[in-house]
Structure 1
Amino acid sequence: MAGKQCCENPPTLDSSSGVGHVKEFGGLNCYITGPADSKFSVVLISDVNGYEAPNFRKLADKVAAAGFYTVVPDFFRGDPYVPENAERPISVWIKDHGPDQGFEDAKPVIEALKSNGTSKIAAAGFCWGAKVVVELAKCEYIEAGVLLHPSFVTVDDMQGVKVPLSILGAEIDQMSPPELVKQFETALNAKPEINCFVKIFPGVAHGWSVRYKEEDEHSVKSAAEAHSDMLDWFTKYLK
């Protein structure tokens, strides 16, 4: 079950943020940014706050600037989690938006990218989105994946992964505490055919990579480092 940390520091959503544009793609509204002629695509899968979070779109633009055609689908179909809605707590909201449905919805997006001329696809998932990426990685829909402060992911999931996987975790994380992330690493290391990279960021909490506050210098710096690690992983396995 999604914990309290999934709901902390919610962003103010802004559908106009970012330099890209929104259009229907693969059956979902998607924020799309980056060179349309790139053969290398990245799918970014959000946390419960959805695809309009300004920090998330800023990150999508950063990925695009590195040369990747970047797609951020609205897996929640205009219904992101709203902490202020006391009548619909996260435990109720998640029943309508399970990561299993996210995995099913991601498949047409992947197919649309392939039809669009993409030759290689990677995906990164944040909190809720990490579980979707794991499922994509089990079925080899992607060339590589990155999980950032994952939720709902299990050690058993790691045993099913079939593509290179990077896991970027937070020291202060109830959803995937460092000891669980280390278990993920052990499970991946038991599969020598699967390359992995695992890193715990000290002094930051669950969600920090996209929910950082600009005035929190340490979180901003750590988020930038995580973004750089993610881009390095994409570059290694796509280009």
Structure 2
Amino acid sequence: MKIENDPNDEVCELVNGVEVSLGELEDSIHAYLFKAVKNNNGTGILLLSDIFGSEDSFTRDFAYRIACNGFNILVPDLFHGNPWSKDRPRAMFKEWIAAQSRERILKDIWRWTKWMVDEFMAAGISKKLGIVGFCVGGGRVLEVLAQDTGACFGAGVSFYGTTMESLDVSDIKVPVLFILGDNDPLCAVSAVQNINKKIDGGSKVVIFQGRGDGFAHRPGSPEEDADAEKAFMIMREWLNDNLVV
């Protein structure tokens, strides 16, 4: 395991950002870790990005802000340096997404989960980890929690998760917070409500009227900014209540 300070980061008294890598050569995987400095509550959070990847500025800004509230946020590069880009022709999307192996991505997630267990739980800092995801990452949240069955993760947050309908969520043993808009063609309210009914343990669905995909972490208007702020506060309280308090 290798950790390097990012020379491009501005010094911040609240958050320290470092590059993290596991493995060697072609087997190596990378992530970015935001660690709270002054107000660190010892809790580790795994943040799964949308298709734009771990280096996307919106994802980094969101992770940074969570860390400013006392958490330690790991953002893995699940696309191995090849995230989707808005500059690419839309016709290339099917080819790109087909190359993103589900098995490989899940393997990476579990490798990083083990690292976080060793980093936070084995050290006696965190009792449980948290997991948060956007869009496709929001769908992975449920998949990971179903496989984990409460062993490592104590709570999850799924922001407008996609490809969730076919998942078996009956093995999820921890509470999940679902945040979505009612105008999202990729994440239907009815589907999320049906999934929520199958999860034991005090899960919750929060629906924002008139909002579509991505509003909470990449708002595109002053109105979305206001709802993004509300969504962040709801998530923060959820993480505090289920992992810290």
TM bucket by the smaller chain?
Answer: 0.7 to 0.9
Aligned to 2:67: 64
Aligned to 1:200: 207
Cα-Cα RMSD: 2.3
1:163 aligns with 2:174: yes
Whether the 8 Å contact between 1:133 and 1:146 is mirrored in structure 2 is yes
CA spacing shift, 1:157–1:211, aligned 2, 3 Å: farther
Aligned to 2:145: 137
Unmatched runs of 5 consecutive residues or more in structure 2: 1-6
Percent identity between matched residues is 23
Specify the SS of the correspondent of 2:210: strand
Whether the 8 Å contact between 2:180 and 2:211 is mirrored in structure 1 is no
Amino acid at match of 2:52: N
How far residue 96 of structure 1 moved from its aligned partner, in angstroms, is 1.5
Aligned to 1:219: 224
Inter-partner Cα distance in structure 2 for 1:92 and 1:17: 34
Whether the 8 Å contact between 1:45 and 1:126 is mirrored in structure 2 is yes
Q: How does 1:162-181 map to 2 (within 5 A)?
A: 162-181=173-192
1:167-215: CA deviation from partner (whole Å, max 9, x where unpaired) = 1111111111122222222323xx3xx22011111121111112212xx
Unmatched runs of 5 consecutive residues or more in structure 1: 1-14
Whether the 8 Å contact between 2:44 and 2:130 is mirrored in structure 1 is yes
2:107 to 101, 104, 108: 104
Amino acid at match of 1:217: P
How far residue 150 of structure 1 moved from its aligned partner, in angstroms, is 0.5
Query: What is the number of residues matched between the two proteins?
Result: 219
Segment drifting more, 102-111 vs 135-144 = 135-144
CA spacing shift, 1:121–1:25, aligned 2, 3 Å: farther
Whether the 8 Å contact between 1:127 and 1:148 is mirrored in structure 2 is yes
CA spacing shift, 1:142–1:172, aligned 2, 3 Å: same
Inter-partner Cα distance in structure 1 for 2:114 and 2:169: 24
Inter-partner Cα distance in structure 2 for 1:161 and 1:223: 27
1:15-57: CA deviation from partner (whole Å, max 9, x where unpaired) = 9678623232575221211237753100110000111121211
Whether the 8 Å contact between 1:17 and 1:54 is mirrored in structure 2 is no
1:147 to 145, 158, 172: 158
TM-score, with length taken from structure 2: 0.81
Whether the 8 Å contact between 1:34 and 1:69 is mirrored in structure 2 is yes
CA spacing shift, 1:224–1:98, aligned 2, 3 Å: farther
TM-score, with length taken from structure 1: 0.83
Specify the SS of the correspondent of 1:139: helix
Whether the 8 Å contact between 1:144 and 1:165 is mirrored in structure 2 is yes
Aligned to 1:9: none
Aligned to 2:29: 28
Structure whose alpha-carbon radius of gyration is higher: 2
Amino acid at match of 1:22: E
1:210 aligns with 2:217: yes
